[in-house]
Amino acid sequence: MTRAHEHPAYKEGFRSYRKNKGHYANPYPPGSEGRNLYERGWIQALKRDPGKPFDGENQLPRGRSPSEADEERRRKEAKESYLKRKGR
């Protein structure tokens, strides 16, 4: 039995965090072991990044994946930019 940190999906998630500068894009299907291990590796890389403080609770919004949180933030920023240009 492979330990989590030795699994290819875990290593892929860990490397992805650094390669993609923190952008989360899990290629594994929801509910799969690979998805879980990829996320575990990604989170471990995040925790070890000295440039980003991690408090264990508030880094990611509950109930949403990191990519969903990013998308929501982008929509909010686009709306605010639009309203600012319109003078509202």
The model's pLDDT over 55-74, given as tens digits with 9 standing for 90+, comes to 555 455 445 566 666 777 87
Going by C-alpha positions, the residue among 47, 45, 46, 33 that lies closest to residue 4 is 33
Q: CA 78 to CA 44: how far, in whole Å?
A: 31
Note if the pTM is more than 0.85. no
Domain segments of the chain as ranges: 4-85
Going by C-alpha positions, the residue among 36, 27, 46, 31 that lies closest to residue 7 is 36
Joined tokens for residue 74: 């982008």
Instruction: Please give the pLDDT value at position 61.
Output: 43
Instruction: Please give the pLDDT value at position 2.
Output: 66
Q: CA 3 to CA 55: how far, in whole Å?
A: 25
Q: CA 3 to CA 7: how far, in whole Å?
A: 7
